[in-house]
Structure 1
Amino acid sequence: MNNIPTTAIVDGTLWSLVLLSVLSWGVIVYKLLRFVSEARRSRALLQAFSGNPSLAFLQGQAGQGGALGRIVQAGQSVLRAATEHLHRNEQIWDRQDLVQRALQQQIQRERKQLESGLGILATTGNIAPFVGLFGTVWGIMRALTGIAAKGSASLDVVAGPIGEALVATGIGIAVAIPAVIAYNTFQRRVKLSVAGFEDLAAEFLKLAQLNAFLLAPTHVAATVITSRKEVA
């Protein structure tokens, strides 16, 4: 084994770690901005909704609420269809089932969007230390090759290769740590966001129930809606 391919392998390992670091930090910055933006929009919607907890309010504000707004819009599309085709004489429980499914499907879509890119962080956190270790092994092999070629284990023979080996190990760990921390942080944020989605979906379902699962109550459903509100 000569020094040229060994050096190229060590350099390739270091550049691979740099690439993993760039990818992971790109994902970290993007996801951080995304979560901050979603949190701000969702907070504004929830604060406004807490002061006016009605289906009519959600109809007017859904477009401003980010992921929560899109979930509301998914439920509204079912209520709108039920209202426009009331003459089909659908049963209330049929509309309820359709609304529940629409809400859950949109929640799953939003969850996938929030989790997108996290695989890169997980992969980086898992493989970066081993990539660094690979570079370390090749650096040590280079040092041993130098010792064999010169018949000496003096400092000037082993210092360079061993130094490269240590650098590869350090870079591998430095790349992995922020990726792992970010992955765990974002996974927790995803769980909290999904819990918020579920809460709003349950509130939307309750309000829709009070409106007989119609977007705009008509005289056909007026009696049912009034009786439900009195009971509530």
Structure 2
Amino acid sequence: MIEVSALEVRIGATVAVASVEARFDAGRLYGVVGPNGSGKTTLIRALTGLLTPEAGEVRVEGHDVASLSLAQRAARIGYLPQERTIAWDLSVAEIVRLGTKDGNEAVVGEVLTQVGLETLANRGVFSLSGGQRARALLGRLLATRCPVLLLDEPLMALDPAWQRQVLLILKDMAARGHTVIASLHDLGLAAQFCDAVCVMRDGRVAAFGAPEQAFTPEVLAEVFGLSGELRTEAEGLALHLAARPL
């Protein structure tokens, strides 16, 4: 579980996150959404402890993140940053193995299958496509088996089928008891797959709750400049948006 209390984070002189109050429970997949510059990445980084709050605190499993050592954080929190930089041409299996605590080959094999790269295990990552490389880095995160998984735009560079597959993987991790929080740009996918959604606007939480509560016509209009509504259909929730922004 993660509890956020009166969180304020500054980037230079700019207040990037202000007065955020939120609780993220284990066993659920949370989407963090919002326009560009709304504070999604800053919030995710603050949850990891990589950014020091100006005020307030983030507590993971009852512990203030700021008070934890790097080793204690690494044992509790797995993080996939937005940047997909890899410095060395390691094999896919080696990248995934870096996420394990003891080089557990059973975990490496399971994760490679999860992310669909088992046949490319011995390929160097420099020879992969952007989407394959993104899946290799996701595999490294999954291999940590951390109770909390934080992902900043995990669907970036993925094709539509793998975007959905990754969200199914994250839902499965949540079902296993992990707390999974991912920043997303696709509102339709967030509505379809996430158990709850945190809508950010100008560094503040504009809405937080189940997709039906977060994606009201008013929120869609005021936060995103979109006209639309969330509907319940045979296959689940579907977000219908007008072709043109307001």
TM norm. shorter chain > 0.5: no
**Interval containing the TM-score (normalised by the shorter chain):** under 0.3
* More strand per residue: 2
**TM value normalised by structure 2:** 0.18
* More helix per residue: 1
Structure of greater relative contact order (alpha carbons < 8 Å, 6+ residues apart): 1
